[in-house]
Structure formats: C-alpha cells, structure tokens
Amino acid sequence: MLYNDYEGMMGKESVMNKSNDIVEQLEKFSSECSSVMETECKKMSSSIESRRPIEPSGLNYLEIFKIQGKEKTYTNFLGWLLNPNSDHNLGAKPLYYFLKKIVSTNFKFNLEKVKVETEKSLEKRVPDLTIEGNNFICFIEIKIRAMEGRDQTRDIFKNGDKRAKKAKKTPFFIYLRLKGQKEADCKEEFKNVEWSEVIGSVLYPFYKKAEKPIKEILQVMIYNLQSNENEKLIKFFENEDKYKKDKVQYYIKLKQIKQLIKEKEGP
C-alpha cells in the first residue's frame, strides 16, 4: 500500500530505494513502542499491587457459590446496605453517605420516607436499583462484567424521567461500573460512577467501624468488587487500550515517515 501511494508521484524505483529508510524507521518505532509499553505495564502492575483487596478474614462465600461476578449479587447487596429498614442496624447512614457523596453534594435529600427497590419495572426497561424519597427518585444501573444493552440507559432515562415528573420529584440517574468499563451511552443524563468511588466513600468507612457480622459482609463485598475491578483493568489494558494506542501511534508514525520520504525526494 505504501508503494502504491507514492508510485505515481515518485516512481516505483525511487520508492524502492527508500525502503531501507522505512524499515529502519519502523524498527526504531517498534523499539520505542516496546519501551513505552514496558513502562506502562510496570505502572499498571504497581497500580494493581497498591489496590490489593482486603483479604476476607473468613470464607469468601461469593466465590463458594460462584456469584462473585454476578450483577444481581451486588445489586442486592447495595439495595440491602442502602435500605434504612434493613437488618444491618446502620439506619439511614449508608444511604445518606451514598446520596451526598456519590449522587449529589448540593441537593437536599428528604429521607423521612424512603423506598429502596431492586429491579423496579419501568415499562420496557428495568433499572437495577431504585431509591425513592419524598422529593427525589434515584435510578441506578449496575455493571460488573456485562456491557450495556442496546439503548438501555436511554430507555431507563426516558421512562424514569416520565415517572419523576408525574410524581413531581427530582430524578437522578447513576451508571455504576468498574474502572475501565465503557461509560453509559446516555452520557448527558447519567452520572458515570466507578465502584472504587463507592468503596472509598461508602463501604470502607462503615467497614472500619462496623462490628461482626456486618464487618465480615462488607469485607467480603469490598474484596470481590476490587478483584472484579482489577481483573477488568488488566483485560482493558492488555486488549482494548493497548490495541487502540498502538494503532493510533502507528498511523501517526507512518504519516511522519511518508512526509520524510516526500521531503527527501522532492515534488
């Protein structure tokens, strides 16, 4: 393809004479890429090492039942934790932390009467978690290993917004995902939140203060969430991000090489 591009302008023989220059440039570029990727690999390794999950002190029951990668596992857990009426005896504190630190720092949430429901039907689409108070409704779509379905967040927003207007309440839309996962397609309406933010702002503060068995539950959930996120980070880095980066850099370098040939040969 490179020869064809320049054959008409400089002649095939002229391009062939410059093939050694091209090979040298590409080999140098390949070496540069290898060095960069090696450095990035070390950074990634260091990052993951520093994010080593809290090891459960007891059994990792999510792994025993093979549900550590299931979205429903984390949906039910978060619904349980954020429900003020749950048997964790933490009251509305986890919900308050979540709403103020994750959903909105400015809005004044009325928590006198709150309903926390999983997979609440919204006509065509069902958000994983719905939190409804006196003056707000928060719709949360949760992702662990699966990707967003076609028009999923758009449909949730359309139906959720309609429901909020009818109830005269302020709607919030949260897309809760692992680091490295694609953001919601409906970017303007959904706030993209990483699980690491929830761990740092909500789960970890209660984990440090909680007593058994709540502490053990939070410990297991934090461990599995971090394990899932680390796994996603590694896959994203090794496959998607690396591929895109190499392709873009290769294209840029190839254009530079073509320009170099053009300058050497003249018009």
Taking only the tens of pLDDT, the chain with its 267 residues reads 443 443 444 444 554 455 566 666 666 666 666 666 566 555 555 554 444 556 777 789 998 999 999 999 999 999 999 999 999 999 999 999 999 999 999 999 999 899 999 987 656 678 999 999 999 999 999 999 888 888 899 999 999 999 999 999 999 999 999 987 889 999 899 999 999 899 989 999 999 888 889 999 999 999 899 888 777 766 655 554 454 555 555 555 555 555 554 444 444
Taking CB atoms within 8 Å and a gap of at least 24, the contacts of 240-243 are 242/37
pTM: 0.69
pLDDT tens readout for residues 184-211: 999 899 999 999 899 989 999 999 888 8
Where are the chain's structural domains?
A: 2-50+235-265, 63-227
CB hemisphere CA count around 154 (13 angstroms): 4
- Residue 74, pLDDT score: 96
